[in-house]
């Protein structure tokens, strides 16, 4: 059983210390009640996250010296995208609008730093342009800000065209709503050539003779978080290639 209650204000579970998702309640959304075989639950989350396995029509390449090539390989225009760089809690970003199907931009990440607040405001404005209400847009940014703006690295956040969202994530609602707005934000993290060289150096230290140096390198590589395994493997392959070339 599934029921939408626009006027009902249920007492929701409060676990703010354990997760980011409670920011998604900070909207004027109606409460939703689901009744299963074992219990009844009430919530008002608007955003969802899941695991998917499909190739998005959006490609990012790091060219070095803060320059990047961004290409739309799909049949729909990309409404906007944001190039973001985060290092030691310092943020740089730039907003780019409308990337036509098949088009490629060569863009540059500004050297000057900004603030997380300004970046959050810029993302909020983009989400509102796609049809979200102000509270919805702010709640979405707040929900994902730690990942989008807090993790060290270089990434592109981009708005997925609604036809692409509907193709990859089809949604059916019965009875059919008068209006349906779906806003999906894609994220591409990319290692710059400069960052790859830093990782190569850390992998060398990791496998070196000094135990202290190895521990220090391990701590630095751990800062890559979920991307450590693949970044470290790629560095090991590059180093193997260098060794092989020297032996020729």
What are 64's strand-pairing partners? 67
Token reading at 151: 């993790």
Q: What is the pLDDT of residues 177-227, one digit of tens each?
A: 899 999 999 999 999 999 999 999 999 999 999 999 999 999 999 989 889
Structural contact between residues 27 and 47, judged by C-beta atoms closer than 8 angstroms? no
Q: Are residues 127 and 175 both part of a single domain?
A: yes
Q: Is residue 208 part of a domain?
A: yes
Phi/psi at 7 (nearest 5 deg)?
-100, -10
* β partners of residue 140: none
* 106-134 confidence digits (pLDDT tens): 999 999 999 999 999 999 999 999 999 99
pLDDT of residue 16: 56
If asked whether residues 143 and 76 sit together in one domain, one would say yes
Other C-beta atoms lying within 10 Å of the C-beta of residue 209: 6
Among the candidates 190, 205, 228, a domain finishes at 190
How many domains is the chain partitioned into structurally? 3
Identify whether 16 is part of a domain. Answer: yes
**Domain region containing 229:** 194-247
Helix/strand/coil for 7: coil
Query: Which residues are within 8 A (CB) of 100 and not within 5 positions of it... i.e. 6 or more apart?
Result: 72, 77
Q: Given a cut of 80, is residue 53 above it in pLDDT?
A: no
The Cα–Cα gap between 1 and 36 comes to 7
Query: In the chain, pLDDT over 90 holds for what percent of residues?
Result: 65
84 inside domain: yes
Q: Mean pLDDT of all residues in the chain?
A: 90
Residue 103: both structure tokens together: 């088009």
| Cβ–Cβ < 8 Å for 94, 109 | yes
Name 246's Cβ contacts closer than 8 Å, sequence gap at least 6: none
Q: Indicate if 35 and 100 belong to the same structural domain.
A: no
Note the helical H segments in the chain.
116-129, 134-145, 162-168, 193-206, 211-222, 228-247
């Amino acid at each position: 059983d599934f029921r939408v209650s626009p006027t009902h204000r249920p007492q929701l579970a409060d676990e703010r210390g354990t997760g980011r998702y409670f920011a998604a309640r900070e909207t004027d959304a109606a409460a939703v009640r689901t009744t299963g075989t074992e219990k009844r639950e009430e919530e008002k989350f608007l955003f969802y996250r899941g695991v998917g396995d499909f190739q998005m029509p959006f490609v990012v390449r790091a060219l070095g010296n803060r320059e990047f090539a961004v290409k739309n390989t799909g049949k729909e225009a990309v409404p906007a995208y944001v190039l973001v760089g985060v290092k030691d809690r310092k943020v740089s970003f730039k907003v780019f609008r409308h990337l036509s199907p098949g088009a490629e931009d060569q863009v540059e990440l500004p050297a000057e730093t900004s603030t997380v607040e300004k970046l959050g405001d810029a993302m909020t404005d983009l989400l509102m342009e796609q049809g979200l209400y102000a509270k919805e847009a702010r709640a979405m940014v707040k929900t994902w800000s730690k990942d989008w703006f807090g993790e060290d690295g270089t990434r592109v956040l981009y708005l997925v065209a609604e036809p692409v969202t509907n193709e990859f994530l089809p949604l059916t609602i019965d009875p059919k709503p008068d209006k349906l707005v779906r806003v999906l934000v894609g994220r591409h993290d990319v290692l710059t050539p400069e960052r790859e060289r830093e990782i190569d150096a850390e992998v060398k230290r990791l496998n070196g003779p000094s135990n202290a140096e190895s521990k220090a390198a391990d701590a630095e590589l751990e800062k890559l978080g979920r991307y450590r395994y693949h970044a470290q493997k790629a560095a090991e392959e590059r180093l193997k290639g260098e060794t092989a070339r020297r032996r020729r």
